[in-house]
Protein backbone atom coordinates (compact mmCIF):
# COMPACT_ATOMS: atom_id res chain seq x y z
CA UNK A 1 0.00 0.00 0.00
CA UNK A 2 1.44 3.36 -1.07
CA UNK A 3 1.02 5.95 1.67
CA UNK A 4 2.21 9.09 -0.12
CA UNK A 5 5.30 11.22 -0.71
CA UNK A 6 4.98 13.14 2.56
CA UNK A 7 5.12 9.88 4.54
CA UNK A 8 8.26 8.41 2.98
CA UNK A 9 9.53 7.36 6.42
CA UNK A 10 6.64 4.91 6.61
CA UNK A 11 7.45 3.56 3.16
CA UNK A 12 11.12 3.04 3.93
CA UNK A 13 10.37 1.26 7.22
CA UNK A 14 7.64 -0.85 5.62
CA UNK A 15 10.00 -1.97 2.84
CA UNK A 16 12.65 -2.81 5.44
CA UNK A 17 10.13 -4.85 7.44
CA UNK A 18 9.07 -6.70 4.30
CA UNK A 19 12.64 -7.52 3.28
CA UNK A 20 13.59 -8.77 6.76
CA UNK A 21 10.42 -10.90 6.95
CA UNK A 22 11.34 -12.53 3.62
CA UNK A 23 14.87 -13.05 4.89
CA UNK A 24 13.62 -14.73 8.09
CA UNK A 25 11.30 -16.99 6.07
CA UNK A 26 14.21 -18.16 3.89
CA UNK A 27 16.39 -18.78 6.95
CA UNK A 28 13.61 -20.83 8.54
CA UNK A 29 13.27 -22.83 5.30
CA UNK A 30 17.03 -23.45 5.28
CA UNK A 31 17.00 -24.66 8.89
CA UNK A 32 14.01 -26.93 8.24
CA UNK A 33 15.73 -28.53 5.22
CA UNK A 34 19.27 -28.72 6.62
CA UNK A 35 19.20 -32.54 6.75
CA UNK A 36 17.55 -33.13 3.34
CA UNK A 37 19.92 -35.10 1.12
CA UNK A 38 17.51 -35.61 -1.76
CA UNK A 39 14.91 -33.13 -3.05
CA UNK A 40 12.40 -33.64 -5.83
CA UNK A 41 15.10 -33.02 -8.45
CA UNK A 42 17.36 -35.70 -6.91
CA UNK A 43 19.93 -33.26 -5.53
CA UNK A 44 20.60 -32.32 -1.90
CA UNK A 45 18.88 -29.20 -0.58
CA UNK A 46 20.85 -26.03 -1.38
CA UNK A 47 20.89 -23.04 0.94
CA UNK A 48 18.83 -20.03 -0.17
CA UNK A 49 19.45 -16.41 0.71
CA UNK A 50 18.30 -12.95 -0.32
CA UNK A 51 20.43 -10.74 -2.49
CA UNK A 52 19.47 -7.15 -1.72
CA UNK A 53 20.80 -4.46 -4.01
CA UNK A 54 20.12 -0.75 -4.15
CA UNK A 55 20.39 1.37 -7.25
CA UNK A 56 21.22 5.05 -7.21
CA UNK A 57 18.77 7.24 -5.39
CA UNK A 58 17.55 10.70 -6.31
CA UNK A 59 20.15 12.43 -4.13
CA UNK A 60 23.04 10.51 -5.69
CA UNK A 61 21.66 11.20 -9.17
CA UNK A 62 21.50 14.93 -8.47
CA UNK A 63 25.08 14.96 -7.21
CA UNK A 64 26.29 13.07 -10.26
CA UNK A 65 24.46 15.38 -12.68
CA UNK A 66 25.92 18.52 -11.12
CA UNK A 67 29.50 17.31 -11.29
CA UNK A 68 29.59 16.84 -7.52
CA UNK A 69 29.20 20.58 -6.91
CA UNK A 70 25.90 22.21 -6.15
CA UNK A 71 25.74 25.95 -6.83
CA UNK A 72 24.60 28.22 -4.01
CA UNK A 73 22.65 31.23 -5.24
CA UNK A 74 22.39 34.20 -2.90
CA UNK A 75 20.37 37.40 -3.35
CA UNK A 76 22.61 39.51 -1.15
CA UNK A 77 25.79 38.87 0.70
CA UNK A 78 24.96 36.92 3.86
CA UNK A 79 21.49 35.85 2.69
CA UNK A 80 20.49 32.42 1.51
CA UNK A 81 17.19 32.20 -0.39
CA UNK A 82 14.60 29.70 0.79
CA UNK A 83 13.91 26.84 -1.56
CA UNK A 84 11.04 24.49 -0.85
CA UNK A 85 12.31 20.92 -0.65
CA UNK A 86 11.36 18.77 -3.57
CA UNK A 87 9.41 15.70 -2.47
CA UNK A 88 11.22 12.48 -3.04
CA UNK A 89 9.74 10.13 -5.55
CA UNK A 90 8.83 6.64 -4.43
CA UNK A 91 12.41 5.73 -3.57
CA UNK A 92 11.75 2.44 -1.83
CA UNK A 93 10.17 0.33 -4.55
CA UNK A 94 12.32 1.50 -7.46
CA UNK A 95 15.69 1.52 -5.76
CA UNK A 96 15.75 -1.73 -3.79
CA UNK A 97 15.89 -5.05 -5.59
CA UNK A 98 15.37 -8.26 -3.63
CA UNK A 99 16.24 -11.54 -5.33
CA UNK A 100 16.18 -15.06 -3.93
CA UNK A 101 19.49 -16.77 -4.73
CA UNK A 102 20.42 -20.43 -4.33
CA UNK A 103 23.91 -21.11 -2.98
CA UNK A 104 25.81 -23.26 -5.49
CA UNK A 105 28.44 -24.50 -3.03
CA UNK A 106 28.71 -28.22 -2.62
CA UNK A 107 27.75 -29.76 0.71
CA UNK A 108 29.87 -32.20 2.67
CA UNK A 109 30.44 -35.63 1.13
CA UNK A 110 29.89 -38.35 3.75
CA UNK A 111 30.46 -42.08 3.44
CA UNK A 112 27.10 -43.75 4.24
CA UNK A 113 26.69 -46.89 2.10
CA UNK A 114 23.47 -47.87 3.93
CA UNK A 115 21.68 -44.66 2.85
CA UNK A 116 19.22 -44.94 -0.06
CA UNK A 117 20.62 -41.63 -1.36
CA UNK A 118 24.20 -42.96 -1.61
CA UNK A 119 25.91 -43.10 -4.97
CA UNK A 120 27.58 -46.25 -6.36
CA UNK A 121 30.65 -45.70 -4.15
CA UNK A 122 28.52 -45.28 -0.99
CA UNK A 123 28.94 -41.51 -0.63
CA UNK A 124 26.12 -39.07 0.09
CA UNK A 125 26.28 -35.33 -0.52
CA UNK A 126 24.71 -33.46 2.38
CA UNK A 127 22.98 -30.12 2.28
CA UNK A 128 25.25 -27.06 2.28
CA UNK A 129 23.26 -25.44 5.12
CA UNK A 130 25.31 -24.56 8.22
CA UNK A 131 22.99 -24.26 11.24
CA UNK A 132 25.34 -21.89 13.10
CA UNK A 133 25.48 -19.51 10.14
CA UNK A 134 21.71 -19.65 9.78
CA UNK A 135 21.18 -18.87 13.46
CA UNK A 136 23.53 -15.87 13.25
CA UNK A 137 21.68 -14.67 10.15
CA UNK A 138 18.35 -15.16 11.97
CA UNK A 139 19.53 -13.03 14.90
CA UNK A 140 20.73 -10.35 12.46
CA UNK A 141 17.42 -10.37 10.57
CA UNK A 142 15.47 -10.18 13.83
CA UNK A 143 17.51 -7.20 15.02
CA UNK A 144 17.05 -5.46 11.66
CA UNK A 145 13.32 -6.13 11.79
CA UNK A 146 13.17 -4.65 15.30
CA UNK A 147 15.13 -1.57 14.16
CA UNK A 148 12.73 -1.01 11.25
CA UNK A 149 9.78 -1.43 13.59
CA UNK A 150 11.25 1.14 15.98
CA UNK A 151 11.80 3.57 13.09
CA UNK A 152 8.21 3.03 11.93
CA UNK A 153 6.86 3.68 15.43
CA UNK A 154 9.01 6.83 15.70
CA UNK A 155 7.65 8.09 12.36
CA UNK A 156 4.14 7.32 13.53
CA UNK A 157 4.68 9.18 16.80
CA UNK A 158 6.23 12.13 14.95
CA UNK A 159 3.22 12.36 12.63
CA UNK A 160 0.84 12.06 15.56
CA UNK A 161 2.65 14.79 17.51
CA UNK A 162 2.70 17.11 14.49
CA UNK A 163 -1.09 16.82 14.24
CA UNK A 164 -1.40 17.97 17.85
CA UNK A 165 0.41 21.26 17.17
What confidence tens digit (pLDDT) does each residue in 72-109 have? 566 666 655 544 444 444 444 557 888 999 999 999 99
Q: Would you say residue 14 has pLDDT above 70?
A: yes
* Residues 15 and 92 sit within 8 Å (Cβ to Cβ): yes
Kindly list the domain boundaries of the chain, sorted by start residue.
Answer: 5-34+48-102+129-163
Mean pLDDT of all residues in the chain? 81
What gap in Å lies between CA 92 and CA 13, rounded to an integer? 9
pLDDT exceeds cutoff 60 at 55: yes
> Do the strands 96-102 and 48-54 form a parallel or antiparallel pair, or are they unpaired?
antiparallel
User: In Å, what is the CA distance from 92 to each residue of 3, 14, 138, 150, 155?
Assistant: 12, 9, 23, 18, 16
pTM attached to this predicted model: 0.70
pLDDT attached to residue 77:
62
Amino acid sequence: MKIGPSFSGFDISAKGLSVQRKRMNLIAENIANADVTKTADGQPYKRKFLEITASKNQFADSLASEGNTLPLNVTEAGHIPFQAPTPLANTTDKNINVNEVTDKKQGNIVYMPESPDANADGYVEESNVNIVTEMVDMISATRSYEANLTALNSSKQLSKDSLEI
